[in-house]
Amino acid sequence: MAQSERLIEVWRGEFLECFHSGHAVVVDTSGQMVDAWGDPEKILLPRSSCKMIQALPLVESGAADAIGLTPEHLALACSSHQSESYHLAMVEEWLSEIGLDDTALRCGTVLPHDLETRKTLNETDTSPCQIHNECSGKHTGFLTLARHLDAGPEYIDVHHPVQRACLEALERMTGVVSPGHAIDGCAAPNFATTLTGLARAMAMFAGAAETSAAGRLRDAMRRHPQFVAGTGKATTELMQAMDGHAAIKAGAEGVFTAILPEEGLGIAIKIDDGASRASAAACAALLIKYGALNPVHPLSLCTLNGPILNRRGMPTGKINAAPGFG
C-alpha cells in the first residue's frame, strides 16, 4: 500500500509552519488513471463529496421529472448548503410540493451556518429545525424518491429502497463493490469506495450526455453553484471562479471531488488529517493544473496561493501546493 504524500504546505513568513499529507487521483472518461499521488486504492468514506451520486436515483427513476424539479432543485439535492434564505425557501417549497414538512426529514436539527439566518432565529426567538440541516436538500430528494417508489418513511435505513438505489448507483459509477458503510452526520448511510473508484465516478459525470441523469446533475451544480454550498464556501466560490467550467463538491474529513467535462476528467482527493482548508487547496491546485481554474482569480486566491491575513489585515504567510503536486 502506497504512503500518503505531502500535498499542501502552510507558510508563515519564510517558515514552513505545517503541511497536510493525503492522496489524490485523476481519471479520464475512458476510466484510465491520468495521475495519482499517495495510495490510489485507498478505501474511504466519500461523505458529502458523493452527493451527486446519491441524487442519481432521484433523476433516473423519473421522480424528479414527475414533480417538475428544476436545475436549482437538482443542485440543492447535491448540496451541503449554508441555510441561507433562498436555500430554506426552496427546501420548504419542495417539501410542500410532495405533501410533507420538516417532520418527515430524518437528517436531524442543527444550528444554521448562515449568520443572517442565525440572527433571524435569535430575534424571533425561533428554534432551528431539520430544514436548517446542511443536508436537508439531499434528504428532500430522498423523500421524493421514496414517495415515487411508494416506499416507507424511514428512508435512511440501509435496507430501504432509497438506500439500495444509492448503493447501486455508487457501485455502478465507481466500478467498485463497496466494502461496507458507516452512518454520516446527517444519519444516512455513507457507502465506502476506493479513491480511484470515486475519481472514476466523477469522470463518468464529466463524460455524461447533457440529457442523461448524470449530465443534468453535473450541469445543475456548475450552473447554480450558490445552491451547492453558499456564500463564502470554497465549493461555491471555486465554481463561481470557473464560471460554470466544472462542478466540484467538498465532503467532511478532507474529501473533495471535481468533475471537469471539457477536459474529460474526474478528480478525487482525501487529506489524511481531515482538514477542509487543505482539501479545498488541493482541489484548487488540480483545477489549475488541468486548466479549469484561473490561478490569479480573486476567488482562487482565497483558497490557494493568496496571502493569509492576520486580524490587522497584514499578510503573514500563504497556503500553497507542495513541490511535485499540482
Residue 46: predicted pLDDT: 98
Q: How far is CA 324 from CA 13, 263, 290, in A?
A: 21, 21, 14
Q: Per-residue pLDDT for the chain (326 aa), expressed as one digit of tens each? A: 689 999 999 999 999 999 999 999 999 999 999 999 999 999 999 999 999 999 999 999 999 999 999 999 999 999 999 999 999 999 999 999 999 999 999 999 999 999 999 999 999 999 999 999 999 999 999 999 999 999 999 999 999 999 999 999 999 999 999 999 999 999 999 999 999 999 999 999 999 999 999 999 999 999 999 999 999 999 999 999 999 999 999 999 999 999 999 999 999 999 999 999 999 999 999 999 999 999 999 999 999 999 999 999 999 999 999 999 98
For residue 183, what is its C-alpha cell? 452512518
Residue 143: predicted pLDDT: 98
With left for phi above 0 and alpha for psi between -120 and 50, is residue 99 left, alpha or beta? left
DSSP 8-state class, residue 48: G
**HSE-up of 41 (CA within 13 Å, CB side)?**
5
Domains of the chain from N-terminus onward: 22-304 (3.40.710)
- Specify the amino acid at residue 307: P
pTM passes above 0.75: yes
Residue 326: predicted pLDDT: 81
Nearest to 269 by CA among 193, 192, 195: 195
